[in-house]
Structure formats: C-alpha cells, structure tokens
Structure 1
C-alpha cells in the first residue's frame, strides 16, 4: 500500500487544518496515511490514518522561527528517511518550508495570496517554492500570481475538498434561534473585515427583521464587541465565538456573507453552498470569483464597499423567490469538489514526473 504524509503545524481549528483532516479521511480508504504535526495540542477535527507529533511548537521571535525551521526540517528528514513515503504533501507556509528543505519531493499547498503575507513569508516563498516538486495553490488566481510574479513553472492548482455527507450529518443537529438570521464565519482578524460587515448590516433594512450571527474568535473580538455596543446592536448582532459545528447555522441561515480583504479559497463559502445556503461575497483576492456565480448561487460584490453590501443584504433578504432560486442552485455548483475527486488530483499530481 502506498504511503502518504500530510504535514501541517497542527489540527487545531482553521480552514487549512480542516482540509488536511478531510483529505486524510479520503486518502485512508486506499492509502497508508500519516499526518505529521509540530504541535498536537487541541486536535479539533476527526482524521484518517495516524498522527505523529514531532514536537516543534511555534516560536515568536525571528531567531526562534529560524531555529524552528532548521529543527523541523531535521526531524522531518529523519522521519521521511525512515518511513519512505510515496507522496509528501505540505499545507500552509509553516509546514511547507521545512518539508521542502527535508525533501524536494514535497508538494506544497498555498492557501492565501502571497501578496497578503508579510515580507518575510514572501521572501521565503520566493526562495523555497521553486525547490518543491510542485506548488499546489488553492485557486487559479493564486496560481496566476505565482507564475507571473515569481516566474514559477511548477504550479498546479488544486481546490479544497468538501465532505458532503459529514456536513449534512452535522447540519441536521437540533437548532433554534428566535429570529431569522444571516451568518458570517471566520477568525476575528483584520483580514476578514468584520467591522465593515457590522456597519453594513446595521445600516440595512433587514436588521429590523433578522439577526447577524458572526461565528469565530480572534484578536479583534473586543474591538468588534465594542463596535456592536456603540451601535446599540447587541440584540441583533451576535458573536458566540468559535463553535465546533457551524454547519447547523449555515443550514438554517437565510444566507451567508463574506466581507474579507483577502482569502485563499474560502471554504466557508463552499460549505455554505453545499448546504444550499446562498452567499454574498466580496470579490477579494483570491477564490470567491471561482466559487460565486452571480445571480446563480449568490452575489459577488466589490470588496470594501459598505453601501453595496448593505444594498445586497436587503435585496436578498426581502426577495424570497430569489433566495429560493439561489438555494436550489447552490449544492450542484460545488459538487465537483468531492473528497474523492480532490484526493485523486493530489495523487495524480504527485505521480507526475
């Protein structure tokens, strides 16, 4: 049986971590799967195969990060030499750099537009990614940037997978909310631009008849809670934190909104659509324009434009016929992203010479 290694910092929350857990379950049906992490605290997702923790937790200082890169690479190289993996897949920059140093057979998955990364990460990408066997960005836009800006010729886009059956099961759990609501999901960070979403919802007519629920946690929680309080919207805008099962909210929401300044290939949009939940998304770099089809499964709007977001919220909330049409189209618009299809793409890419 062929052996697959999946390398990632941890399996604690986050879209990339969920992708690795999902892929591991798909691969485990036909392969010997090992997930290699640097920190096994707070494993939040079910996974397939076995988990190996090489115990190299994140360091904050530049010196600490440099030392960690070498230490992780050394430990990975020893593990690769011992296990003789047939396929090595890295996920996110903290895992990709040491994996590439440890083996030129690594295929590195890139989950965000490299322009949105810091100067150090951009330098590291420019230095390390040409050495990888292949680089597998999660969107065509990221792939184009890598080819055009970094002149990489080892780039092949692979989208993220969707575990349809698992999402259906989780979304069917009992749920109640006293009012109709729309939903947003993501870390409470600058990138997600939730302050704009809060302003847009507050100025909408829809706020008279529905709530906004923002699922997630992060460093901007206090600022966002203060914004909600200053607007007098505590009864209509809710921030319950990061929940293990956001899918029951997606299933019962009128629609989802995404206001990000940048993404990679936003799984929350895919997950919502797979549960027949229409979406409104900022046309940010990168990913949403490859997911959202205007007036088919949702609406793609100008990034950073609060007025357009407000108007689109009202348009979709008060037009039930439109919502039903978008909902009917949502699931089939993402069916090509099945776990089986995406796992096959990873293996086929690895076997290319």
Structure 2
C-alpha cells in the first residue's frame, strides 16, 4: 500500500491547512495510507477517520521564544516518527508545509527526502528582503525540492532568493470538485442577501477594509455582511462595525467547516489582502458561481483572468467600493475554465511524480 506523509504546524484554520486536509482526505479515499504529523495540537477540519494524526507536542500553539527553545526536541520527535513510518515500508510522498515546519524538517535526518511546499510569498515575513533573511532562505531550501503553489511563489524563490530553477516547481493548489459539489448544496440558514468575507482575521488579510468598504458604499441598505473566520482582530472588527453604525448588519460567524454553502448563496465575495500565494478562497468561490471582487495581487491575478480582470482593484476603500458596486450590478458568466486547473486529482498526481523524480535523482 502506498504511504503519504504530510507535516504541518497544525490543522487549525488557514489556507495551507485546508490544502493538506483536501489532499489527505482524497488520498485516503483512494487507498493510500495517510499520516499527518502536526507540530502542535489543533484540528478544525474534518478528516477521513482512517487518517493517522501524530502530534509532536501537546501545546495548542507555539510562539515567541518557544520557536527556538523547542526546536531540538521537536526534531528528535520528528526523526523518531518518520523512522517508525518508513521502517514499515516506503513512503511515496512526504511534504513539509509552512515555515516553522520547514525548519524542523530541514534540521531532521529526513531533510533531503521531503518536498517543501510554499503556500505564500515571503513578503508576509518582516524583513523578508534583508540580507540575513535571504541567507536563511537559501540555507533552508537550497539543494532541496521546493514546490510553489503558484508561478509567482515559485518565481520569487528563483528571482529574489536565487534558488536554482531546477529545484523549484509549481503545482497549483487543489479543490476536490466532488466534495465541493456535495457541500455547496447545503443551506447556510441565512435568509438575507449578503456580501461574504472568508479568511483569517489577521493583519495580513486586512479584514478591516471589508467593513470600511461595506459602510462607505452604503451596502447595508440592501445587504448584510457575513464574516467567516477567526483571529486576533475579531474584537477590534466588531467594535469597528458598531462605531460605523453597521453593527446590526455585520455577522461574525466564526470558523466555518463548510464555506461552500456560504459561497454558493452569497451575492459577492470580497478579498482584501495585499498578498496571496494562491487564493483558494477566490478559486472556491468561482467554482460555486459566486462573483468575486479582490484587491489586486499576484495570487489572484493568476485566477481572475479574461473578463474577470476588471474586478481586481487597488487597496483603497474607494477602489474597493467601486468594484463591489460594479460586481453586484453586472458580473460575467463564471466559466469552468477558471477553476478546472485546480483539480485535486491533477494536484496529487503531480506531487507523486515530482517526489519520485526528486528521490530517484538524489540517490
């Protein structure tokens, strides 16, 4: 039986986490024995019951100095777990996901076996263009196989951090279309017309722009605003909504297991982050035939092509409001070709091929 191992910080809310869960569930249903190794505890996604989940520590979060003080112990535990898994048979796929996990994997005895999957641009990290950070990235990923989830993420590693082109590949993130078709038929239990924001309530996603634009465009006269997600800015955003006089029209629904049902019934989805590796939210919304307006960034420009380009905007409140009004008034037909490249079947096939190619060539 084939084996696949995914290593990641946790399975809490986030785009990379959703991607790993999509891949893992799909492979387990196809008869692949899947193990997910998490640095710390926290699961908010539904997993196939036969997937094995291993935690390297019992904490629900690692932060601050703990990143450094606990690294050695985590490396030891990872070596032990991977040794146990690989002793029972060959692994056909081993991926590392997110920066801290990549560091632990890089320090392990299995450093040269993994595919290092980059889900975002490095510019979300402070001082990402400093000389020291560039040196760190070259050490971390140099002579390793790196996967960018979009061409822009892969190009950044080559052009900015000077990794060798033959060690960097692009594999687009996946949607399980069959699963999405099932989930989007459910009803959200929300009867008012609404505009949707779906994402982590953190600074990098700029959710404050959503409330500012909602108020500035007087959208509350016809629509509600539904916000799906959790994060450190939640209380601040709730206060902002009240102070703008739209508190009664803004609904914070927290973390949502099934985003597809909300997308399928929304009048518009709004994305307001300045940077995205590859925006799964945009791809999923388009698959649900939901009109999308997004702040222009390299991660959404690759998805919103052709007629959809005109619904990309600058990050100003005025620019967002203008495109929201246009999108609500007149949005083109969302064709299947916008989302077809993101098939989970195509995604995992590419991963298996690249893993075999990498390990065969590194023997």
Instruction: Give the structure-1-normalised TM-score.
Output: 0.90
Q: Residue 4 and residue 240 in structure 1: after superposition, are their counterparts in 2 closer, same or farther (change >3 A)?
A: closer
Q: Contact 2:21 / 2:45 at 8 angstroms: preserved in 1?
A: no
Matched, 1:295 2:297: no
1:93 is aligned to 99
Q: Residue 256 and residue 221 in structure 1: after superposition, are their counterparts in 2 closer, same or farther (change >3 A)?
A: same
Deviations 1:108-147 (A, max 9, x none): 1111111211348946433211142x11111111111110
1:105 is aligned to 113
Cα distance in 2 between the residues matched to 1:90 and 1:293: 30
Correspondence list, 1:147-166, <5 A: 147-153=158-164, 154-166=167-179
2:350 is aligned to 345
2:6 is aligned to 6
Q: Contact 1:281 / 1:292 at 8 angstroms: preserved in 2?
A: no
2:71 is aligned to 69
Cα distance in 1 between the residues matched to 2:326 and 2:127: 40
Residue ranges of structure 2 left out of the alignment (5+ in a row): none
Cα distance in 1 between the residues matched to 2:20 and 2:79: 20
Matched, 1:204 2:235: no
Q: Residue 273 and residue 82 in structure 1: after superposition, are their counterparts in 2 closer, same or farther (change >3 A)?
A: same
Cα distance in 2 between the residues matched to 1:227 and 1:70: 42
1:129 is aligned to 141
**Secondary structure of residue in 2 paired with 1:326:** coil
The more displaced of 21-30 and 136-145 is: 21-30
Q: Residue 277 and residue 43 in structure 1: after superposition, are their counterparts in 2 closer, same or farther (change >3 A)?
A: closer
Q: Contact 2:41 / 2:58 at 8 angstroms: preserved in 1?
A: no
Matched, 1:276 2:289: yes
Deviations 1:276-308 (A, max 9, x none): 112111112x41111112524872222x22111
Correspondence list, 1:34-53, <5 A: 34-47=35-48, 49-53=51-55
2:253 is aligned to 240
Cα distance in 1 between the residues matched to 2:13 and 2:340: 24
Q: Contact 2:286 / 2:339 at 8 angstroms: preserved in 1?
A: yes
Q: Residue 241 and residue 205 in structure 1: after superposition, are their counterparts in 2 closer, same or farther (change >3 A)?
A: same
**Secondary structure of residue in 2 paired with 1:232:** coil
Q: Contact 2:37 / 2:56 at 8 angstroms: preserved in 1?
A: yes
**Secondary structure of residue in 2 paired with 1:96:** helix
Cα distance in 2 between the residues matched to 1:297 and 1:273: 13
Q: Contact 1:111 / 1:138 at 8 angstroms: preserved in 2?
A: yes
Matched, 1:332 2:337: yes
**Secondary structure of residue in 2 paired with 1:151:** coil
Cα distance, 1:314 vs. partner? 0.9
Root-mean-square deviation (CA), in Å? 2.1
Cα distance in 2 between the residues matched to 1:265 and 1:50: 28
Picking from 223, 240, 253, the partner of 1:227 is 240
Picking from 151, 163, 167, the partner of 1:140 is 151
Correspondence list, 1:282-321, <5 A: 282-284=295-297, 286-296=298-308, 299-302=311-314, 304-319=315-330
Cα distance in 2 between the residues matched to 1:122 and 1:267: 27
Q: Residue 339 and residue 278 in structure 1: after superposition, are their counterparts in 2 closer, same or farther (change >3 A)?
A: same
Cα distance in 1 between the residues matched to 2:344 and 2:119: 17
Q: Contact 1:201 / 1:310 at 8 angstroms: preserved in 2?
A: yes
Q: Contact 2:292 / 2:327 at 8 angstroms: preserved in 1?
A: no
Cα distance in 2 between the residues matched to 1:46 and 1:305: 39
